[in-house]
Amino acid sequence: MPAAPAPEGVAEVLVVVGAATYHRRSVRKRTAFPMLEGVRVQPIISIRQLSKTYASGFQALKPIDLTINRGEIFALLGPNGAGKTTLISIICGIVNPSSGSVLADGHDVVREYRAAREKIGLVPQELTTDAFETVWNTVSFSRGLFGKSANPAHVEKVLRDLALWNKKDNKIITLSGGMKRRVMIAKALSHEPRILFLDEPTAGVDVDLRRDMWVMVRALRATGVTVILTTHYIDEAEEMADRIGVINKGELILVEGKTALMEKLGRRQLTLQLQAPLVRIPEAMSGYPLELSADGLQLVYTYDAQGESTGIDVLLRRLAEAGIDFKDLKTSQSSLEDIFVSLVRERA
Ligand SMILES: Nc1ncnc2c1ncn2[C@@H]1O[C@H](COP(=O)(O)OP(=O)(O)O)[C@@H](O)[C@H]1O
Ligand SMILES: [Mg+2]
C-alpha cells in the first residue's frame, strides 16, 4: 500500500482491524521506538482472540489480541505460570490454540504451518539437543530440517557471532551450560528466520552470557529480525525492549512502549516512622499522596522516581511546619509484583 512520507515528528501507524484497514496519524513528542520514527509500522505477527485451554481443563490463555511490529524487540513480561511459554508455543505451532488465529509474516500458523514456521526461530526455555553430536552438525542439521539448502558460510557466521567457532567440532555434551545455550541460539538462527523467539533467554545464565545475549539481540534487530523475548526480569525488559506486554494468569493486561511502562515501574515509596501516632493526616497535607498506617505511626508517600521532582523536600518541610516529627525514614521501589498487583486490581 503506497503511503505518503510522514512529516517530521509524525508517526504513521497502520492499523488492521478485521477486514477494515485504516491509517491513523498521531503526533507524538517522543516515540517509544525511535528507530521506527517516521516509518510505517507494519505488523509481522497478528494475534486475534487467541485462547488456550489445556486438556486438563486449565485455561492457560484468555482471549488475546496482540500485534507485533516488524523489526521491533518485544518483551513479554510475566510471573511464572502466566502463560508466556504457552503463547510462544502456539505462535511457533508447537501447541494448538483452542480458539483464535495467529498470522506470522502473513501465514496462518495452523493452516500454513510450514510456511509460518520457516519464518520463525525459537530458542525454547528447556534446552534439548543431541548430546553426542558436534556443534557444527547440530546447527547444520537444524537448517536442513527447514528444507533450506546447506550454507556453510551462514553456519560459520552464526557460530562466529556466538563465539562458538572454536567449539564447532566439540560434542554438545562437553560444553558448559552457557555454551549449550549459545548452541540453541545458533540452531534457532540456522535457517535465517525473520522472527526470533527467546523464551527466558537469560534465566540462570552468567553475567557474560547475559551481556552477549543483549548485544546479539540488538545486532539481529539491526539486520531487520523481529525479536520476541519472555522474561521475568524487569531490568532485561528495560534494557532491551521497544515495547512490553505484561501477561498475568493468562491475561494480557497491558501492552505499552517501554518508556511509558518504565515510568509506571518507577514509582517509589517513602515511609516515615513517626515519633508520635497521628489520628489522621493533617488538613494542610491533604493534597499529598499520603497514606497513614492503621496504628498511626507510619506515613507512606508515593512518588514518581522518574519525574523531574520527587516532591520529597517540600513534603518534609510541610511536615516540619505541621509539627510532625519522624524518627526514621526509608524508601522502596515498587517491585514487579506490586505492579502486577496494581495492574490486576485496576482491571478487575
Ligand atoms: N501441557 C499442559 N497441560 C496443562 N497445563 C499446562 C500445560 N502446560 C502449561 N500448563 C499450565 O499453564 C500455565 C501457563 O504455563 P506457561 O505457559 O508455561 O507459563 P510461563 O511460561 O509464563 O511460566 C501454568 O499454570 C502451567 O502449569
Ligand atoms: Mg515459560
pTM of the model: 0.74
At residue 179's C-alpha, the angle toward residues 173 and 184, to 5°, is 85
Find out whether the beta carbon of 126 lies less than 6 Å from any atom of ligand 1.
no
Atom of ligand 1 nearest to the CA of 247: 22
Find out whether the beta carbon of 84 lies less than 6 Å from any atom of ligand 1.
yes
Please report the pLDDT score of residue 265 as a whole number. 67
CB atoms within 10 A of CB 236: 21
Nearest to 109 by CA among 53, 54, 48: 48
Q: 118 CA distance to ligand 1 centroid (A)?
A: 25
Low-confidence residues in the chain, pLDDT < 70:
1-40, 264-266, 306, 334-348
Please report the pLDDT score of residue 199 as a whole number. 93
Q: 37 CA distance to ligand 2 centroid (A)?
A: 32
Please report the pLDDT score of residue 337 as a whole number. 58
**What CATH homologous superfamily does 43-263 map to?**
P-loop containing nucleotide triphosphate hydrolases (3.40.50.300)
Q: How far is CA 89 from CA 43, 141, 197, 201, in A?
A: 19, 22, 10, 15
Q: Which protein residue has the closest C-alpha to ligand 1 atom 25?
A: 81
Structural domain spans, the chain: 1-41, 43-263, 266-346
Q: What is the DSSP letter of 134?
A: B
CATH entry 3.30.70 includes domain 266-346: yes
- The three-state secondary structure class of 335 is coil
Atom of ligand 1 nearest to the CA of 199: 21
Same fold flag, 43-263 and 266-346 = no
Q: How far is CA 111 from CA 94, 99, 114, 322, in A?
A: 13, 13, 9, 69
Please report the pLDDT score of residue 41 as a whole number. 76
